[in-house]
Structure 1
Amino acid sequence: MPHLFWVSAIAPFMVVVIGGVFDFLVHGDEHGIPIVGDLKKGINPISISQLRFNGKHVGVVVKAGLLSGILALAEGIAVGRSLAMIKNEQIDGNKEMIAFGMMNIVGSFTSCYLTTGPFSKSAVNFDAGGKTPMSNVVMSVCILLVLLFLAPLFKYTPLVALSSIIVVAMIGLIKVKEFIRLYRVDKFDFCICMVAFVGVVFFTMVIGLSASVGLSVLRALLYVARPATVKLGNITGTEVFRDVKQYPHAKSVPNILVLQLGSPIYFVNAGYLRERDFEMG
């Protein structure tokens, strides 16, 4: 209900507060309940003076940064498109890449953690009712105030409380009907989707994204190496050509084989297309 929007917005906060108070009263950390632990107030110092480009670890840093950047970009665009589909919107991958790059460049001067669009935080923000970039500004100000004044109060927050917030928010992003539709439309796409889902949920984000991206690349290579080929026939009385299997009344042109190829002709698929030509001819 629109007038109860504040319920979803305040729910994560109440979970953290109630969980922290309960753990403090029963001394849950002494009974094996994992908690956040000690948090120091304040923000990280400016780090621009610590940048070095001639150290012995520059090569390792560049490799780690390249891998982290690719994964962060893939994760951010993936979650952005997932949320955009729910709201029937479109996002520009190029602009997203530029935004992530600028944020990480500026953040590197201030001891900032790798900036991306994580599934967990984005899902919580979306579930709380955030609709515009202004929600990120409000969230950033709140985080700044917490770091400056309230950080020690979160010492007794159980990790299970934080996990429950993420799980509840992520459940709202799972669309079973889309799984079913994808299975009916394209079995290969459904397999890629399930690999990504199982990898992220039961293993790690890196495993899920890497496996799904690898399968997507494999599929692209298979489509190039073995493209779809369709024999076309002329619709009588017109200049239109259609698939003879879908249009049985379409007539083939005498002594001419008309094919529609699903991919340009490369050396990798030349042999396969030659075989298909002989089969259809």
Structure 2
Amino acid sequence: MNWPEIVTGLSRYLPILDWGRRYDRSTLINDLVAAAIVTIMLIPQSLAYAMLAGLPPEIGLYASILPIIAYALFGTSRTLAVGPVAVVSLMTLAAASSVAVPGSAEYIAAALILALLSGLILVVMGVLRLGFLGNLLSHPVVSGFITASGIIIATSQLKSILGIGASGEALPELVTTLVENLGDTNMPTLIIGVTSVIFLFWVRKGLKPLLMSLGLAARPADLIAKAGPIAAVAVSTLAVILFDLEAQGVKVVGTIPQSLPPFTVPLIDPALWSQLAGPALLIAVIGFVESVSVAQTLAAKRRQRIDPDQELIGLGAANVAAAFSGGYPVTGGFARSVVNFDAGAETPAAGAFTAIGILIAALLLTPLLYALPIATLAATIIVAVLSLVDLKTPRQIWRFSRPDFAALMTTIVVTLLAGVEPGVVSGVGLSLALYLWRASRPHAAIVGRVPDTEHFRNVKRHSVITDPKVLTIRIDESLTYLNARWLEEFVLEQVAEHPRVRHLILMCSAVNAVDASALESLEAINHRMVDAGVQLHLSEVKGPVMDALQRSPLLEALGGKVFLSQHQAFDELAERNPD
């Protein structure tokens, strides 16, 4: 094997070997510009999300350095920006606080374990090519979970806006403790928090149109608007310094260590690992689904593609890197990835340059953040997560599918009332139960021929030609143990309702598989039909299904024939048996 072939083979697991060969000056400039913009956006976000996770703010910076570089090496998305995100931060808080007090050394150790476990889970899933398992989280469940999480996160940050204490992982407890402590509201903190929220909302909606009305092009106006949190950070920090607001009870970030990310080794404690394994699995799956959705959306805009299995490895490597560099679980973020895309990033190198920018900030700029109000970071979180609250999807899903609506609302309600993990588990559980229920009762229809065509359609929907001695049932689902018994009952019921029938045709155009239980049911149906003086026929059987049937005794015992097309079957049997 020559060198180019070796490189091509390795690029399957190290995508940098693919895009790195075509890296040029123009790409470098575009990546540097995008990295500068994302770095400015990511600094306050990293601090805010770390505090949301119950961790010291510098851990957010650490989680935005080595993990980004690891993803740049192993990930396949050209524009995905990896780092701390709101939903995963909330899940980290819920999981780690179940085993330790937030902010304690044990709590930080639990966060490192969560990062390592979720990273290892993702890597193993990627190696085993299990990217399809992300499909277990249906869109309604993911949408419901993110909406509920957004509401919980925004509510949890009200304590920082008000300058009071509050606790709880679920909405009832949060609201109760907020109301109980409302009398302790700190007015300077409230002014900073409310002003920051209003400003950040205006920046999102109003700054871009204003800049464009002043003659600025759409793209730079959009990028400036997305960097709005930096202005809120700068102004509120200056206000704290100038008016000595810390002495008036305004809580600030305080001292942030000026240092490189530390080398950390997650605690080896089998009992603790066992406790955190379940939450780590949920963090891994939720993070993967959120990340791959963003990556696929952005890749499609440039007619690129991503490999979900390699994305598992890339995200897994990022989380393992976080575990050994003082971070906590990370994934691809929607907002920063869109900014990275809009800023012109062309390769994952933009992420590596962003990591360098965050590293410089961690070494040189942290003293400037000492007086940064916690209320401003809370405002940043509130504005970011409220954009995740989707009130349109429930109405759309209600009109389209009541079972999916039930899964969505169950996820929302349970997440709000009981917390993150019960919400996800209940949503996935109900989705799977509904899927199994639908699979156990597949759609089937009595069909007839559309006049002057070779097409067969549902007799209840179309005016079609039928023959009283020929009954055709179209089965619109693969036949498995879930629906095998239902098939027997349905066929026997239909034959009983058509006493003149002499030929029963099972139209199998939508049947992609037949398992052993379904085969047994088909054999039972055939015996019943023989006893009733009815011949059982099959039509439009797909090749793989036919291969499986030929390895069984069904075809030899079949009372009728197997027809290539339903048109052929109907013509032959109807002509042979005129009414």
Name the count of aligned residue pairs: 271
C-alpha separation in 1, matches of 2:298 and 2:398: 19
C-alpha separation in 2, matches of 1:141 and 1:213: 39
- Give the drift of 1:42: 0.9
Query: Any residues of structure 2 matched to 1:81-230 within 5 Å, and which?
Result: 81=293, 84-85=296-297, 92-117=307-332, 122-126=333-337, 128=339, 130-131=341-342, 132=345, 133-173=348-388, 178-196=393-411, 205-230=420-445
1:73 equivalenced with 2:285 (yes/no): yes
- Give the drift of 1:100: 1.4
C-alpha separation in 1, matches of 2:400 and 2:431: 16
Q: 1:275 to 1:219 in 2, by over 3 A?
A: same
User: What letter is aligned with 1:225?
Assistant: S
C-alpha separation in 1, matches of 2:434 and 2:240: 50
C-alpha separation in 2, matches of 1:135 and 1:252: 68
2:491 to 271, 277, 281: 277
1:60 to 261, 266, 272: 272
Query: Any residues of structure 2 matched to 1:212-251 within 5 Å, and which?
Result: 212-249=427-464, 251=466
C-alpha separation in 1, matches of 2:493 and 2:249: 69
Q: 1:17 to 1:99 in 2, by over 3 A?
A: same
C-alpha separation in 2, matches of 1:203 and 1:29: 36
1:23 to 240, 251, 255: 240
**Contact persistence 2:444–2:473 (CA under 8 A):** no
C-alpha separation in 1, matches of 2:491 and 2:457: 17
1:5 equivalenced with 2:222 (yes/no): yes
Residue by residue, what CA displacement relative to the aligned partner does 1:10-40 show, whole Å, maximum 9, x if unpaired? 2021122222222344444455544333321
C-alpha separation in 1, matches of 2:261 and 2:415: 30
Q: 1:162 to 1:194 in 2, by over 3 A?
A: farther
Q: Which has the larger radius of gyration?
A: 2
C-alpha separation in 2, matches of 1:252 and 1:197: 51
C-alpha separation in 2, matches of 1:144 and 1:275: 67
Look up the match of 1:44: 261
SS in 2 for 1:256: strand
**Contact persistence 1:123–1:173 (CA under 8 A):** no
**Contact persistence 1:45–1:110 (CA under 8 A):** yes
Q: 1:238 to 1:256 in 2, by over 3 A?
A: same
C-alpha separation in 1, matches of 2:367 and 2:276: 32
Q: 1:272 to 1:219 in 2, by over 3 A?
A: same
Q: 1:265 to 1:244 in 2, by over 3 A?
A: farther
C-alpha separation in 2, matches of 1:205 and 1:220: 23
**Contact persistence 2:292–2:308 (CA under 8 A):** no
**Contact persistence 1:73–1:100 (CA under 8 A):** no
Q: 1:203 to 1:159 in 2, by over 3 A?
A: farther
C-alpha separation in 1, matches of 2:422 and 2:488: 39
**Contact persistence 1:36–1:157 (CA under 8 A):** yes
Residue by residue, what CA displacement relative to the aligned partner does 1:71-130 show, whole Å, maximum 9, x if unpaired? 23322322541575588557543232121122233444434422323xxxx244146454
Between 1:202-211 and 1:16-25, the stretch displaced more is 202-211
**Contact persistence 2:295–2:306 (CA under 8 A):** no
C-alpha separation in 1, matches of 2:349 and 2:339: 13
User: What letter is aligned with 1:182?
Assistant: I
Q: 1:33 to 1:224 in 2, by over 3 A?
A: farther
- Flag structure 1 segments of 5+ consecutive residues without an equivalent: none
SS in 2 for 1:157: coil
Q: 1:96 to 1:202 in 2, by over 3 A?
A: farther
User: What letter is aligned with 2:252?
Assistant: I
Q: TM-score, normalised by structure 1?
A: 0.76
User: What letter is aligned with 1:81?
Assistant: S
Q: 1:148 to 1:277 in 2, by over 3 A?
A: same
SS in 2 for 1:259: strand
User: What letter is aligned with 2:309?
Assistant: N
Q: 1:83 to 1:95 in 2, by over 3 A?
A: closer
Q: 1:60 to 1:175 in 2, by over 3 A?
A: closer
C-alpha separation in 2, matches of 1:124 and 1:163: 17
C-alpha separation in 1, matches of 2:247 and 2:492: 76
Residue by residue, what CA displacement relative to the aligned partner does 1:143-169 show, whole Å, maximum 9, x if unpaired? 211211222332332333223323333
C-alpha separation in 2, matches of 1:85 and 1:104: 22
- Give the drift of 1:256: 2.8
- Give the drift of 1:4: 1.0
Q: TM-score, normalised by structure 2?
A: 0.40
Q: 1:129 to 1:190 in 2, by over 3 A?
A: farther
**Contact persistence 1:77–1:96 (CA under 8 A):** no
**Contact persistence 2:446–2:471 (CA under 8 A):** no
- Give the drift of 1:222: 1.7
Residue by residue, what CA displacement relative to the aligned partner does 1:46-89 show, whole Å, maximum 9, x if unpaired? 24xx478xx6x235325524641442332232254157558855
**Contact persistence 1:230–1:260 (CA under 8 A):** yes
